[in-house]
């Protein structure tokens, strides 16, 4: 019989769980140090008691920057097999988290299959599921029914849930008094705002937050406090609505920690480059060092079809400035449900951003990978370069598509390759650029 409720509760009691032990090993961190971070809330280990296939990961201070992959069925794209193929691809590409954002029909079958097959932590947004779960119009769903959906997701083994508890009636008043170019772009946030307007009631996730915390404590579900008022354009970033909600999320963070419930706080959104660092510092301050999870930030609004790039630029800066968790963005952002190729591009872009930030943050072992690749390049060891590549398949395919005359070069530089030239001259060999002999 376990004598703790959550990973935070265990850490505060000095109990080394198998999850804490596994994360400490992955992160090359002393177990005592990790326990201190989990106990204080600066690291979360999302690990639902019912997710038996989980390979646990930590999110937060001093750890590798993690990435999340969004997928799920919708009314227009409802093929479960296609989405399960994406789940497997995300796992193969080493994503640490997968969020099931399914928003149509009875999603339980898909959610359970994802939890069963995935060693990655699984997240959901119960608000998306409520309409389909009850087969009711939004305004007819009751507060208790919203909480029941949360409990159902917890029972099914979901490790973390986005809960938009910060868009309460007070936040809504601020939003109304301060106009925006793109209003509320969070899907869950807009649905809750609409529900409050239609019913005249308080946000149920805010009004019954203590009941929500009890559910999460029972199953050890980490709450990812959703930023309903995240900016959907660079014009709206760091405005009154965003900051008002962030202040409230900081208060909700402390209330959760009082019940040993782990917290991740979500952040922007669309934001110009010069605002990112200050936003990361502000979040960490207002939310007491809780792990920070960002969507992007997308640093310009004019590149549809390339938002995996605009997001990676912002994500690298955000993570280097303190963000702990990056939600991937694909080339299909704002345009359609991503297909398998879109997902792959988004994962690679997000992993590049995360790794670049880890180098900047001095995460143990981060530079070792790059140094190994540099050594392989200096030795013109192509096979080793492929093995070390973030995307080995693409690297091999590019190399094979344009074969050089000399194996110790590529078709861009040929025998003028700087590495080849330096290797030869430093070994006392002849430099023969024009002759056909070696």
Q: 413 a known binding residue? A: yes
Q: 287 a known binding residue? A: no
Class of domain 7-361: alpha beta
Q: 164 a known binding residue? A: yes
Tokens of 178: 């301060």
pLDDT given for residue 196 in this prediction? 98
Q: 128 a known binding residue? A: yes
- Domain range summary for the chain, segments of one domain joined by +: 7-361, 365-401, 405-438
> What band does 14 get if pLDDT is binned at 50, 70 and 90?
very high
Closest CA relative to residue 427, chosen from 393, 379, 359: 379
Residue 436 buriedness (CB in 10 A; 0-12 / 13-18 / 19+): exposed
pLDDT given for residue 74 in this prediction? 81
Q: Please give the Cα distance from 138 to 145 (Å, whole number).
A: 11
Q: 77 a known binding residue? A: no
Q: 375 Cβ partners below 8 Å, 6+ apart?
A: none
pLDDT given for residue 249 in this prediction? 98
Q: Please give the Cα distance from 211 to 227 (Å, whole number).
A: 20
| Cβ-defined contacts of 404-411 (< 8 Å, 24+) | 406/438, 407/382, 408/380, 409/380
Residue 71's beta-bridge partner residues?
A: 100
- 3-class DSSP string for 340-376: HHHHHHHHHHHHHHHHHHHHHHCCCCHHHHHHHHHHH
Tokens of 60: 């937060």
Torsion of CA 163, 165, 167, 169, to 10 degrees: 150
Q: 51 a known binding residue? A: no
pLDDT given for residue 21 in this prediction? 98
Cis bond upstream, residue 223 (ω within 30): no
pLDDT given for residue 431 in this prediction? 83
Q: 227 a known binding residue? A: yes
Q: 410 a known binding residue? A: yes
Summarize pLDDT for 61-82 with one digit per residue, the tens. 999 999 999 998 888 877 888 9
Tokens of 233: 């354009």
The pTM for the full model equals 0.95
CB 165 within 8 Å of CB 208: no
Residues 279-299, mean pLDDT to the nearest whole number: 97
Average pLDDT, the chain: 95
The angle at the Cα of 340, spanning 389 to 310, to the nearest 5 degrees, equals 70
Look up residue 201 and give its DSSP letter.
Answer: P
Rg (C-alpha) for the chain, rounded Å, is 24
Phi, psi (deg, nearest 5) at residue 273:
-55, -40
Q: 334 a known binding residue? A: yes
Q: 345 a known binding residue? A: no
Summarize pLDDT for 206-262 with one digit per residue, the tens. 999 999 999 999 999 999 999 999 999 999 999 999 999 999 999 999 999 999 999
Q: 70 a known binding residue? A: yes
Tokens of 426: 């430093």
Q: 398 a known binding residue? A: no
Residue 223's beta-bridge partner residues?
A: 161, 263
Q: 266 a known binding residue? A: yes
């Amino acid at each position: 019989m376990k004598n703790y409720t959550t990973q935070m509760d265990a850490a505060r009691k000095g109990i080394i769980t198998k999850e804490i032990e596994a994360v400490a090993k992955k992160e090359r961190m002393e177990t005592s140090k990790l326990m201190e971070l989990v106990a204080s809330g600066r690291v979360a280990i999302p690990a639902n008691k019912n997710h038996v296939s989980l390979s646990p990961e930590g999110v937060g201070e001093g750890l590798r920057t993690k990435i999340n992959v969004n997928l799920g069925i919708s009314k227009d794209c409802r093929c479960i097999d296609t989405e399960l193929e994406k789940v497997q691809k995300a796992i193969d590409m080493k994503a640490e988290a997968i969020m099931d954002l399914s928003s149509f029909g009875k999603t339980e079958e898909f959610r359970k299959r994802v939890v069963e097959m995935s060693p990655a932590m699984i997240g959901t947004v119960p608000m998306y599921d409520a309409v389909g779960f009850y087969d009711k119009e939004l305004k007819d769903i009751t507060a208790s029914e919203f909480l029941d959906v949360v409990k159902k997701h917890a029972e099914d083994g979901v490790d973390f849930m986005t809960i938009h508890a910060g868009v309460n009636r007070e936040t809504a008043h601020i939003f109304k008094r301060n106009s925006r170019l793109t209003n509320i772009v969070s899907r869950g946030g807009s649905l809750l705002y609409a529900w409050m307007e239609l019913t005249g009631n308080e946000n149920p996730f805010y009004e019954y937050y203590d009941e929500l915390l009890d559910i999460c404590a029972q199953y050890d579900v980490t709450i990812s406090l959703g930023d309903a008022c995240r900016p959907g354009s660079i014009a709206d970033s760091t405005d009154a609505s965003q900051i008002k909600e962030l202040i409230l999320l900081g208060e909700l963070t402390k209330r959760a920690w009082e019940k040993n419930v782990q917290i991740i706080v979500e952040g922007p959104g669309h934001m110009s480059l010069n605002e990112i660092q200050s936003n990361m510092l502000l979040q960490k301050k207002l939310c007491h060092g809780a792990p920070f999870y960002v969507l992007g930030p997308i640093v310009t609004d004019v590149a549809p079809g390339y938002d995996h790039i605009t997001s990676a630029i912002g994500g690298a800066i955000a993570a280097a400035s303190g963000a702990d968790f990056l939600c991937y963005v694909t080339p299909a952002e704002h345009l359609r449900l991503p297909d398998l190729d879109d997902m792959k591009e988004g994962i690679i872009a997000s992993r590049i951003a995360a790794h670049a930030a880890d180098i900047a943050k001095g995460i143990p072992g981060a530079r070792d990978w790059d140094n190994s690749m540099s050594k392989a390049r200096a030795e013109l060891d192509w096979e080793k370069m492929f093995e070390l590549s973030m995307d080995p398949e693409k690297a091999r395919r590019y190399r094979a598509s344009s074969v050089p005359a000399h194996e110790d070069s590529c078709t861009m530089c040929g025998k003028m390759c700087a590495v080849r030239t330096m290797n030869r001259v430093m070994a006392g060999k002849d430099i023969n650029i024009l002759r056909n002999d070696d």
